[in-house]
C-alpha cells in the first residue's frame, strides 16, 4: 500500500532533510520509525523536495510503500508516538501506486520571516534576526520582478550545475506584522538556495544598497556572484505543497 503523509518539522536541530552519513536528518528519522512499523522491513520515503540545514517545514509531503495492512489513522498515531517531538505527522492518506510526492507536484509555497525589531533570543532559530528597519515599499516593488518565468541561474547555488535553470514564480507577497516581515513565494519549482538568494537581494534593496532596476541585470548576468549574500536558513519555511 502506498501512503502520502503531510508533516511538519523544526529544522534547527537537523542537518537538512536528505539522508546523509553520520549526521542527523529528517529523512533518516522518519524512515527509521516507518521501518519499525513495517515489521522491520526497510522503508524509503520520497519527499516533495529537500530542505537545507536549519530550514523548517509546515506542510512537507512524502510518499512511501508499506507491506503491512494498517489504516491511515493508526499509521499516523503510530508514527507520532515514535517520532522525535520536533517532527509531527499531520495527515496520512492512501494514494494510488503510481502517485509520486515529487513528480506530481504542481506548485510549492515558501515563506521567509525577518525580524526588524529588537533581537529575540527565543525566536533566533525560527525568524532571521535582522533587527533593523527595511524600506518595505521598495521591497514590495522589487519582489514583483521575480514573478513570471525566468532563468534563475544567478539565484541558485554556485555549484548547482544543470541544463535548465528556468522556473516560474506564480505569486509573491510581502506582509508586516509586529516588526516581523514575511515574504511569500508560490511557484512551480525552486532551485537550491533560490528563495534565500532572492531574499538576500530584496534585503539589499530594502537597505538602499541595491536599486530595484538592478534585478533585471542580475537575471541577465546568469552569474551567482551578482546576486549578493544568501539569507540565513532559519527564516525559511516550506509552507505548502500543492498537487492540484
Q: Indicate which CATH number applies to the domain containing 59.
A: 3.30.70.580
Task: Give the pLDDT of residue 160.
Answer: 77
C-alpha cell at 150: 525566468
Same domain, 147 and 179: yes
Active site residue 39: no
Same domain, 111 and 222: yes
Residues 175-226 have pLDDT tens digits of 999 999 999 999 999 999 999 999 999 999 999 999 999 999 999 999 999 9
Pair type for strands 236-242 and 56-65: parallel
Q: Coil, strand or helix: which one is 140? A: helix
Task: Give the pLDDT of residue 209.
Answer: 95
Structural domain including 28 reads 2-95
Last residue of a domain, one of 64, 95, 126: 95
Task: Give the pLDDT of residue 232.
Answer: 97
Tell whether 100 is covered by a domain. Answer: no
Q: Which among 10, 39, 52, 223 is annotated as catalytic?
A: 52
The pTM assigned to this predicted structure is 0.95
**How many separate helices (H) and strands (E) can be counted in the chain?**
5, 10
Average pLDDT over residues 86-100: 97
3-class SS shares of the chain: helix, strand, coil, % to 5: 30, 30, 40
Sign of the CA dihedral with 98 first, then 160, 12, and 122 last: negative
Residues 50-82 have pLDDT tens digits of 999 999 999 999 999 999 999 999 999 999 999
Tell me, rounded to whole angstroms, the distance of Cα 20 from its chain centroid.
Answer: 18
Task: Give the pLDDT of residue 10.
Answer: 98
Average pLDDT over residues 147-163: 89
Task: Give the pLDDT of residue 161.
Answer: 80
Q: Which residues pair with 128 in a beta bridge?
A: 114
Amino acid at each position: 500500500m502506498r501512503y502520502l503523509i503531510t508533516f511538519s518539522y523544526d529544522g534547527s536541530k537537523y542537518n537538512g532533510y536528505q539522508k546523509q552519513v553520520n549526521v542527523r536528518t529528517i529523512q533518516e528519522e522518519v524512515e527509521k520509525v516507518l521501518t519499525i512499523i513495517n515489521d522491520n522491513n526497510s522503508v524509503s520515503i520520497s519527499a516533495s523536495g529537500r530542505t537545507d540545514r536549519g530550514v523548517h517545514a509546515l506542510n512537507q509531503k512524502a510518499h512511501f510503500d508499506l507491506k503491512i495492512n494498517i489504516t491511515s489513522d493508526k499509521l499516523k498515531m503510530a508514527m507520532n508516538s515514535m517520532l522525535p517531538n520536533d517532527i509531527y505527522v499531520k495527515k496520512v492518506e492512501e494514494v494510488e501506486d503510481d502517485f509520486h510526492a515529487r513528480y506530481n507536484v504542481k506548485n510549492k509555497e515558501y515563506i521567509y520571516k525577518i525580524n526588524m525589531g529588537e533581537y529575540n533570543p527565543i525566536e533566533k532559530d525560527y525568524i532571521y534576526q535582522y533587527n533593523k528597519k527595511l524600506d518595505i515599499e521598495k521591497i514590495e516593488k522589487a519582489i514583483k520582478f521575480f514573478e513570471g518565468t525566468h532563468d534563475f541561474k544567478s539565484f541558485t547555488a554556485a555549484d548547482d550545475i544543470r541544463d535548465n535553470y528556468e522556473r516560474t514564480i506564480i505569486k509573491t507577497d510581502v506582509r508586516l506584522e509586529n516588526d516581523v516581515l514575511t515574504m511569500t513565494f508560490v511557484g512551480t519549482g525552486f532551485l537550491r538556495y533560490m528563495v534565500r538568494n532572492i531574499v538576500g537581494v530584496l534585503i539589499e534593496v530594502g537597505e538602499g544598497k541595491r536599486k530595484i532596476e538592478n534585478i533585471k541585470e542580475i537575471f541577465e548576468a546568469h552569474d551567482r556572484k551578482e546576486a549578493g549574500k544568501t539569507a540565513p536558513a532559519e527564516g525559511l519555511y516550506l509552507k505548502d505543497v500543492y498537487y492540484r
